[in-house]
Structure 1
Amino acid sequence: MKLKICGMKYPENILEIGALLPDYMGFIFWEKSARYFDGAMPDLPKSIKKVGVFVNASLDEILDKIQKYDLQAVQLHGQESVEFCKNLKKNIPNLTDIIKVFSILDTFDFAELKPFEKVCDFFLFDTKGKLPGGNGTAFDWKVLENYPSTKPFFLSGGIGIEEIKKLVEMMQSDVSTKKLPIHAIDVNSKFEIEPGLKNIQLCRDVAMQRLQNK
């Protein structure tokens, strides 16, 4: 599994986390978020893919941020339609991925995914809550045992060190979760000192744990 550290905000902290070489770093461009990013982007290692997180943003806004910050992926965290994703795909660079987010609580109708299969590169499953993301709680992963697709996805929602340990144990067992195409884990609030400021030691721990399980 790859590692995405999301909700980055402060330049010095961004550089410190960048030195740990996560596969993805997420920057939230939703103004209502406590982790809203609107600063200068420091230079990061080329191996790190920068992800812009948007909530019901316009096409022009997304394209502007892609160009301004050289984003390699766009994460859609609102009620973006299939048609919007299709139009976005036509207008962004070929190497820029689209990640479409779906929120889960206790149940989920996976039939919702099918129309998005051809217009998104990845899905992301997060916990349904008051906010579009960053609610700090995990959903019941057993719901994913009914995942009908082969499209790889990001797993998000209140993931901390203990949750990652449980996930690794699940994937090393004989349960059906082992067969799920989990592309990356997405961590945020449980690795913070305050919104947008990541705890370097905790992030280092999860980065090392990921390397040990490769």
Structure 2
Amino acid sequence: MSVRLKVCGMARPDNLRAVAALRPDFLGFIFYPKSRRYAAPTLTPAAAAAVPASVQKVGVFVDEDTAVIQERIAEYDLQAVQLHGSETPETCGLLRATGVAVIKAFAVREVFDFERLRPYVGVVDYFLFDTAGAQPGGNGTAFDWKLLQNYALPVPYFLAGGLAPEHAETLRNLRLPGLFALDLNSQFETEPGLKDAGRLDTFFKELRTQ
């Protein structure tokens, strides 16, 4: 399985240590106060600092002021930012120029116009495709992945939206142009912000089985 793995919505120090020990490629911390997985009240910078260096730390933001994002980058030693709002290509480029990787998220419905992504080519490192829903992310439902079969842009992407344990075999054999990483969140939780490390461990092993 060459596709990378990201676990998003980490919010508690003990749970963070357990999931980090599984060695995902990315761990996501949500810095959006309206999210049920808002990390800042419970996850300290010291807890984040204990994450192994091989695991990249991603801060998730929704239409946040760039100065605040930069504060979080420094505070939590983030290697990437994931933007889930209406952030412009100019904002993405400014953040990327600071040295972090930029992931720009887009909500997908029954149809999706990939031409709207072209202004972001060259100013982001990755796209992220998530299922449209009531919240900017973490809605727990999957969209039709066949929409990505004709993806032709040069920017690799994260696949998100309701990825669950029962999808392991399908995802292991999934061949989509541009697919870079799988983003796991609500379907591996016992409650918002608390991941089931055992279920994640089993899922990782199933995905990495050739």
**Which of these residues, 63, 66, 72, is aligned with residue 70 of structure 2?**
63
- The whole-number CA distance in structure 1 between the counterparts of 2:171 and 2:20 is 24
Determine the structure 1 residue equivalent to 2:89.
82
Determine the structure 1 residue equivalent to 2:120.
116
2:185 pairs with 1:188: yes
- The whole-number CA distance in structure 2 between the counterparts of 1:170 and 1:14 is 28
**Which of these residues, 197, 201, 207, is aligned with residue 200 of structure 1?**
197
Contact 1:2 1:210 in 2 (8 A): no
- Displacement of 1:149: 1.1
Contact 1:56 1:77 in 2 (8 A): yes
Percent identity over the alignment is: 45
- The whole-number CA distance in structure 1 between the counterparts of 2:164 and 2:182 is 10
- Secondary structure at the aligned position of 1:67 is classed as helix
- Displacement of 1:102: 0.8
Determine the structure 1 residue equivalent to 2:171.
167
- Displacement of 1:183: 0.8
Determine the structure 1 residue equivalent to 2:139.
135
2:154 pairs with 1:150: yes
**Which of these residues, 21, 25, 28, is aligned with residue 26 of structure 1?**
28
- Secondary structure at the aligned position of 1:170 is classed as coil
**Which of these residues, 55, 59, 63, is aligned with residue 48 of structure 1?**
55
What is the RMSD computed on CA atoms of the aligned residues?
Answer: 1.1
Contact 1:3 1:210 in 2 (8 A): no
Contact 2:172 2:207 in 1 (8 A): no
2:113 pairs with 1:106: no
| Structure 1 unpaired stretches of 5+ | 172-176
Contact 1:192 1:198 in 2 (8 A): yes
- The whole-number CA distance in structure 2 between the counterparts of 1:208 and 1:126 is 24
Contact 2:105 2:129 in 1 (8 A): yes
- The whole-number CA distance in structure 2 between the counterparts of 1:110 and 1:126 is 14
- Structure 1 letter corresponding to 2:53: K
Per-residue deviation, residues 151-191 of structure 1 (Å, max 9, x unmatched): 211000000022232122333xxxxx3xx121110000000
TM-score, normalization: structure 1?
0.92
Determine the structure 2 residue equivalent to 1:36.
38
- Displacement of 1:14: 0.2
Moved more, 65-74 or 138-147: 138-147
- Secondary structure at the aligned position of 2:174 is classed as helix
Determine the structure 2 residue equivalent to 1:174.
none
Per-residue deviation, residues 3-52 of structure 1 (Å, max 9, x unmatched): 00000000000000011000000000000000000131320111000000
- Structure 2 letter corresponding to 1:186: D
| Structure 2 unpaired stretches of 5+ | none
- Structure 2 letter corresponding to 1:75: Q
